[in-house]
Amino acid sequence: MTKSRSRRRSGKSRTVSAPRRGWWRWMLLLGLLLLAVMGAYAAWLDHTVRSQFEGKRWSVPATVYARALELHQGQRLTRRQLELELEALGYSQGADTRQPGTWRASGSGIELSSRPFTHWDGHEPSQRLHLTFADGRINMLRRLDGSAVSLARLDPAVIGHIYPGHREDRLLVRLEDVPPTLIAGLVVVEDRAFFQHAGISPSAIARAAAANLRAGRVVQGGSTITQQLVKNFYLSSDRTFWRKGNEAIMALLLEARYDKEDILETYLNEVYLAQDGDRAIHGFGLASQHFFGTELARLSLEQQALLIALVRGPSFYHPRRHEQRALARRNLVLDLMSEQGVISRDAARVASSRPLGLRPARTGPRASYPAFMDLVQRHLLRDYQREDLQTEGLRIFTTFAPSVQHATEAAIQERLRDQPVDVEAAAVIVDVDSGEVMALVGGRNPRYAGFNRALDARRPVGSLIKPAVYLAALDQPARYGLGSLLEDVPLTVTDERGRPWEPRNFDRTFRGQVSLVDALAYSYNIPTIRLGQEIGLSTVGRTVERLGAPTPRTLYPSYLIGTGELTPLQVAQVYQTLASGGYRSPLRAVREVTGQDGTPLSRYSLAVDRVFDPASVQLVNLALVEATRRGTGRDIYRYLPSGLTMAGKTGTTDETRDSWFAGFGADRLGVVWLGRDDNAPTGFTGSSGALPIWGVAMAAIEPAPYADVLAPELEWVWIDGESGARSAEGCEGARRLAYRVDAAPEEWTACGQRVAQREEGGGLGGWIRGLWR
């Protein structure tokens, strides 16, 4: 009986313990699985931390600079032009010029303190300079201590960036270049135990947890600097427990793998501090430039404290929008720095008494130059991948001239102010000798980053093509000269299908015969078509291509008077070759490219190709000078100062759909187009539409006048306007024209022959001259 009970109890015990062992077995397996999942998740987080922290941490956009303005005595530069350059640079105007990036008027001159800058070819230190001006030039350049300066170079203005999609911008700094007081102040304010904890602060977390439990949601963070970095670097800003958990784990992993200095340097470059339009300002380096216009190492104590203050709330404490709030927060930072022994009480008191010291905010909309930036990117994409331009922090030095751009934009806006909104414009300004694009406007609203008409609007060029026709003729001196007579009588041209075309002059008048120089200066269509047919359409086409523009596959007689389509930039290339005397320099917008550290990567040097005999080109240019003196371009002198001789050509297409003007002096070339995107008529001819814009712009730019000093292969000859024969000074109808030496007409007018004989041997003067032979 006892044994039986014992067996039953033993059996019952076995039946109860089996499920318990199974339950614990499942719990153990579940725990191991959970640990494995957590381990895998932690490994994934660790991989995430390492992959970005050890790789390329940021996508740093390329910074695009204007050309650096070089100053020297005798340079063509007005005081107003220098003021515009300084405005583009963001220099502050005031009574004190001790700080770099400041200037003031001084009598008839300017005093300025330039900023130090590392150019592509070396470092330029800050200098305090005094300049005076006279007759449109710098007539004195000295340092404020009185010492002479042969050449000074200003820092270039930042004109844009080439952003990745998120449009974050930053200027990377190394920890050793950051002021020690800024580092210590940041730690005191944001994470006092930074150098002691392992990534998270339990006491701070406890305080935050209590507040969050009371609120029933996440309302407060106990984040360390490391956790803030993790949030900014890897995670979203969502206030959830899941995100906070990830943040804590990743902070521990980050601290386990990397030293405090590396984490702190990364934080200094990553933290968001301001918004500038659609550009996000990240990092203390760029924030220093944005708010104070100087590098981080040069910041005063109160300026450092303001940047530290912004970490807590960049929008809430924005110093330009909330000055008093920012001032109070800055002074609180100074007090905390004093309490923790970072600075003395006296230093804190003095710094607290000072104003915020911000650089002046830009008035009006932020300057942007989308049309020129478009040209820069197109040039760079020949040699660089787009991703490299957006992420590698390249420094791109361009040919952009802020004062020239300002003058061009102002001229367009002044002229179109009272015109219908669908009348558009485009303009290109080029340095004649180098082919450098100094200014580019893609539409009447120069800030609109839409259709870039300067680069992409292919429009019929009208009479702007005619100089190519006359160059092709004058390159044959045995057949043509400026005084050669061309027929201006009705003309019928039959195409290959037998269809007639009867072109007319713009004024619907025929003149019988006109000189070659007048046919170009007055832009007569009939003589131009006849001349083009004589020398051959293919010859004209090759001439246009040598000048630098593409031509249609098939040429028709109408091409000779401008039915061919070109963009304003392509027209500028054609006229650059003319303006430089037959030396074609491919138009360029980029000079140099360096890495973020200043290492030279690319240099786009001047390239010159002699494509025409300079004497032939000068004959065409002299005819274009006649066009502005007496011909279709004569109205430019309503806008230009007296004595400023320029060469130029108007262009008008059928029903006034397109209005063009291209003109140049010794050093500047400008092309202006006016029209509608839908190709509807504008009512403007070249002289009534584009020419005034060109004239107003050039009056502000103040180019050097066209110099008509003849090439050695040319000489001045008196020609009879009606017959085209040789004449002499004083004879009726005689005019002085340039001809190639020994290529002037052999026929003489009676008056010209008499004068020539008298000068050679007739009369008392000839007898006396004969005694000395």
* Catalytically active residues, by annotation: 190, 463
State the DSSP string of 649-677: EEEE-GGG-EEEEEEE-SSEEEEEEEEET
The closest of 387, 627, 660, 394 to 528, measured between CA atoms, is 627
Q: Cα(371)–Cα(447) distance, rounded to whole angstroms?
A: 8
**Residue 554: both structure tokens together:** 């098939």
Neighbours of 430 (CB within 10 A): 30
> Please, are residues 146 and 130 in contact by the beta-carbon 8 Å criterion?
no
CA distance 167 to 179: 28
Query: Under DSSP, is residue 376 helix (H, G, I), strand (E, B) or coil?
Result: helix
**Tokens at 518, concatenated:** 């007048």
Q: Classify 277 as helix, strand or coil.
A: coil
DSSP string, 203-242: HHHHHHHHHHHHHTS-------HHHHHHHHHHS-----HH
The DSSP bridge pattern shows strands 500-501 and 583-584 to be: unpaired
| Residue with the two structure tokens 């019928």 | 492
How far, in Å, CA of 303 to CA of 61, rounded? 26
- Cα–Cα–Cα angle for 549, 550, 556, rounded to 5 degrees: 115
Between strands 658-664 and 668-676, the pairing is antiparallel
DSSP 464-509: GGHHHHHHHHHT-TTT--TT-EEEES---EE-TTS-EE----TT--
- Going from the C-alpha of 471 to that of each of 59, 584, 611, the distances in angstroms are 51, 15, 12
520, containing H or E segment: helix 516-521
Q: Which of 548, 605, 533 is nearest to 578 (CA)?
A: 548
Report whether 561 contacts 546 (CB < 8 A): no
Token output for 224: 């360390």
Q: How far apart (Å, rounded) are the C-alpha atoms in residues 570 and 12?
A: 101
Please state, in angstroms and rounded to a whole number, the distance separating the CA atoms of residues 600 and 281. 26
Q: Please, what is the end-to-end C-alpha distance for the chain in angstroms?
A: 168
Other residues' Cβ atoms within 10 Å of the Cβ of residue 286: 23
The span from the CA of 752 to the CA of 759, in Å, is 11
Q: Is the dihedral of CA 363, 330, 232, 261 positive or negative?
A: positive
Separation CA 282–CA 272 (nearest Å): 4
Angle at 732 between CA 726 and CA 736, to 5 degrees: 50
